[in-house]
Amino acid sequence: MIIWLASYPKSGNTLLRSILASYFYSNDGLLKFENLYKITQFPLSEQFMSLGVDIDNDREVFKNFINAQKLINQEKGKIRFFKTHSSLCRVYDYNFTDLNNTLGAIYIVRDPRNVVTSVAHHYNLSVDEATETMIDKNRFMQKTTKNLRVFIGSWNFSYNSWKNLKDQKKYLLIKYEDLVTKKKTVLLKVFKFLGSLGMKFDLDMIKLNKVIKNTEFEKMKIKEQNEIFFEAVADKEGKRKNFFNLGPKNDWRRLLDEKNRDKLEQNFKKEMIELGYL
């Protein structure tokens, strides 16, 4: 069964993946990119090609989301984490997932005023363009050579959509800001949630403390500088950009202009108040 690590892009998904991969897929609690890649993304081209799906046909891809998940879940009793930026919704009259294939979801949310500058950096956009992207209710994530298209919608649509699992007690919300400043407290909630879903493990606090230390942002940034991180993207000139760019130093109070700040706050006022961002 699948446990989704869901988020709007540039909201801290990679940090959570790094932590979980270091804990569950290493013996020593050290961060290794090869372990991080074990928590892969959905949907990927390879997950659909084995089904004979035309990956250039959006409708056929969306139609087969659940079939691809059934294939992933063929090994009974196995629990797997998957990262996704898809909203939990119905597109082309097909659902992204269902309760037969989803064990639960952890949704990572981040202050949109900080997300916007990360989106601009990662996708080679101006901050004005990134703001418009985030408020676009009809936004799809574009297909790449590896990743297939998903429907994201706006920042608040993504956040609200995954709450649909809340009534089934299959949903945990964590804030990126808390994951940075109160890491151990948040992770204990995460591991408690995983246990409630039926995941079997003994919590090793010594190992967890090592994981916490080794997934500090500056250490991850240095690791990227010394190794190739395949999830980094290229700039307009084709030069690979830092994936781990500003992290906690990405402070909207210092970086975001008043016009785009006001636009984000006006569009997302309800959710930002709910989350304590306003």
pLDDT in tens, 128-155: 999 999 999 999 998 988 899 999 999 9
99 occurs within a structural domain:
yes
Phi first, then psi: what are they for 188, rounded to 5°? -65, -35
258 occurs within a structural domain:
no
Name which of 106, 93, 91, 97 is nearest 140 in CA terms: 91
265 occurs within a structural domain:
no
237 occurs within a structural domain:
no
The region of weakest confidence among 182-196, 217-231, 250-264 is: 217-231
Name which of 151, 132, 14, 16 is nearest 93 in CA terms: 151
Query: For the domain that residue 149 is a member of, what is the CATH number?
Result: 3.40.50.300
pTM of the model: 0.90
pLDDT in tens, 7-49: 999 998 988 998 999 999 998 888 887 888 889 999 999 999 8
Measured CA distances, 44 to 20, 57, 218 (Å): 21, 14, 29
pLDDT in tens, 151-167: 999 999 999 999 999 99
Instruction: Provide DSSP, 235-258.
Output: -TTSPBPPSS-SGGG--HHHH--H
| Separation CA 161–CA 77 (nearest Å) | 27
What is the b/e burial string over 199-217, where b = at least 16 CB atoms within 10 angstroms of the residue's CB? beeeeeeebbebbbebbbe
Cβ–Cβ < 8 Å for 9, 112: no
| Peptide bond preceding 248 in cis form (omega within 30 of 0) | no
**Across 121-125, average pLDDT:** 87
Q: How many domains does the chain have?
A: 1
118 occurs within a structural domain:
no
Cβ–Cβ < 8 Å for 113, 264: yes
* Domain extent for 215: 2-112+140-225
121 occurs within a structural domain:
no
